[in-house]
């Protein structure tokens, strides 16, 4: 088993990123697998980024990996742009992928909107770069959220066409690695909107840099409703804020939503929110403390990234060399 995943280097990370990705990165270290976890800075520049801020965010996300328990002795942590083979393989796959495949990508349509003529070519073709990210390490399993499933399908299409056209089985067809509960955490201000680092309201999210008092205050202010919690999970269906808060409690505690309701069904949010705050503070405050310490020691972060990049380049170079040979190219 070979696993590849990553987080885009744009904006500060929050509770949704922790439960949807970081915690799972750390948990997957128990698997008998080779793991590559990148900070996707090449993906970030598909839209304009302030260069100094991008460098800072790349370092901060690496620190988040470490604070969340991703061990560089067990997993390779690296900046995507430090491994030039990502871009090289992406060009080769541009000559394999079909225009019609990219035309079907709904995420480009969502991000570009009505101004698609003004969008960068990189934003349009970045699913091909994502395929290169995965296949550069010949990954067999990819943990993906719902919004990335279509891109993984494109990766699988690239593999099948490449292997068919060149009569080889060089690349494995990557499989989705199920991530379990907690992969989609919603805003604390709107249970119908995903928790986002771009939301203008800081109270909409628990930032990984928030201290214990800030976390408790945000949970207290989180939007809820007037009714008591139901005794059965089906009762959450039409109550997005209640469902979100119960889901956060369950994901951080490692239990099901129904198990939470077994304890708190029939009780109001006046009783539930303090208990939820205790759980969130207990799990997240130590991570926040570690993160702040790491950010005060950028040399330590940079050393981890440099070692990871070297390991990633060593793994990537022979793959690109093999692919170029299959294409009939020099080098």
- 228 phi, psi to nearest 5 deg: -70, 160
- 84 phi, psi to nearest 5 deg: -60, -20
194 is catalytic: yes
Three-state SS at 35: strand
111 is catalytic: yes
140, 82, 62, 45: which is closest to 317 by C-alpha?
82
**Total residue count of the chain as it appears in this document:** 331
Which of 111, 161, 290, 324 is flagged as catalytic?
111
User: What is the C-alpha to C-alpha distance for residues 6 and 126, in angstroms, rounded to an integer?
Assistant: 14
- 67 phi, psi to nearest 5 deg: -65, -30
Which of 197, 273, 290, 324 is flagged as catalytic?
197
User: What is the C-alpha to C-alpha distance for residues 121 and 100, in angstroms, rounded to an integer?
Assistant: 15
Q: How distant, in Å, are the alpha carbons of 155, 163, 302, 318 from that of 82?
A: 22, 28, 12, 16
Query: Could you tell me the two tokens for 237?
Result: 């269906």
User: What is the C-alpha to C-alpha distance for residues 185 and 14, in angstroms, rounded to an integer?
Assistant: 10
User: What is the C-alpha to C-alpha distance for residues 26 and 142, in angstroms, rounded to an integer?
Assistant: 14
109 is catalytic: no
Residue owning tokens 């067999």: 140
100, 76, 102, 86: which is closest to 45 by C-alpha?
86
Q: CA neighbours within 13 Å on the CB side: how many for 309?
A: 17
**Cα dihedral sign, 26-11-59-285:** negative
182 DSSP 8-state letter: -
Non-local (6+) Cβ contacts of 146 within 8 A are 183, 184
Which of 161, 194, 273, 324 is flagged as catalytic?
194
Q: Catalytic positions, please? A: 111, 194, 197
């Amino acid at each position: 088993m070979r696993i590849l995943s990553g987080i885009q280097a744009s904006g500060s990370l929050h509770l949704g990123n922790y439960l949807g990705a970081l915690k799972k990165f750390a948990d997957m270290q128990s698997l008998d697998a080779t793991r590559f976890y990148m900070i996707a800075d090449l993906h970030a520049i598909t839209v304009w980024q302030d260069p100094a801020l991008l460098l800072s965010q790349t370092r901060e996300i690496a620190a988040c990996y470490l604070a969340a328990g991703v061990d560089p002795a067990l997993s390779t942590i690296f900046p995507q742009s430090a491994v030039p083979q990502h871009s090289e393989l992406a060009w080769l796959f541009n000559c394999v992928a079909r225009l019609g495949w990219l035309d079907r990508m709904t995420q480009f349509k969502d991000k570009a909107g009505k101004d698609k003529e003004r969008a960068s070519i990189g934003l349009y073709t970045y699913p091909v770069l994502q395929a290169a990210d995965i296949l550069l390490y010949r990954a067999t399993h990819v943990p993906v959220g719902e919004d990335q499933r279509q891109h993984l399908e494109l990766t699988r299409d690239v593999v099948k066409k490449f292997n068919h056209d060149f009569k080889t089985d060089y690349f494995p067809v990557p499989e989705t690695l199920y991530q379990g509960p907690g992969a989609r955490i919603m805003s604390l201000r709107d249970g119908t909107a995903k928790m986002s680092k771009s939301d203008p309201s800081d109270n909409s999210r628990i930032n990984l840099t928030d201290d214990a008092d800030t976390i408790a205050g945000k949970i207290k202010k989180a939007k809820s409703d007037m009714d008591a919690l139901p005794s059965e999970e089906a009762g959450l269906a039409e109550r997005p804020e209640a469902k979100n808060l119960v889901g956060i409690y369950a994901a951080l505690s490692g239990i099901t939503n129904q198990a939470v309701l077994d304890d708190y069904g029939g009780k109001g949010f006046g009783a539930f929110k303090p208990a939820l705050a205790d759980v969130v503070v207990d799990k997240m405050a130590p991570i926040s403390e570690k993160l702040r310490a790491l950010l005060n020691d950028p040399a330590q972060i940079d050393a981890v990234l440099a070692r990871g990049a070297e390991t990633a380049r060593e793994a990537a170079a022979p793959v690109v060399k093999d692919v170029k040979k299959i294409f009939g190219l020099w080098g």
